Amino acid sequence: MTLTIYTKPAGCFGCTKTKQKFTEAGVPFREVDVTTNQAAFEYITEDLGYSQVPVVVYDRDGTENHWSGLNPGGIEQIIAIESHGTEA
């Protein structure tokens, strides 16, 4: 399982809440700051087609899921999968 959260450091409520929810649940993630990483910025805008952060990219067993913005349902689904090992 890999979970990557593409963020910006300041003024991003969705970024803060997304990271907080995964941290509280004990689900490890990698944070990438798109304001300092040009390749990451190009990946989320050009490859994935998003224009706002956070962008969450979750890969489990070769199946990738991703979204942009604060997504409580998506966050809870990943937490449930990682906590129980099965889809909620």
d(CA 21, CA 42): 26
CATH classification of the domain holding 45? 3.40.30.10
Decide if pLDDT at 1 tops 60.
yes
Decide if pLDDT at 88 tops 90.
no
Tokens of 44: 């989320």
Closest listed residue to residue 70, CA positions, set 2, 28, 22:
22
- Total residue count of the chain as it appears in this document: 88
| Per-residue pLDDT reduced to its tens digit, 51-69 | 999 999 999 999 999 999 9
Domain of residue 6, residue span: 2-84
Give the single-character DSSP code of 85: S
Handedness of CA 60, 11, 50, 40 (dihedral sign): negative
Q: What angle do CA 40, 56, 61 make, to 5 degrees?
A: 100
pLDDT grade for 84, boundaries at 50, 70 and 90: confident
Report the domain count for the chain: 1
pTM of the model: 0.92
Q: State mean pLDDT over 11-36.
A: 97
Q: What is the pLDDT of residue 54?
A: 98
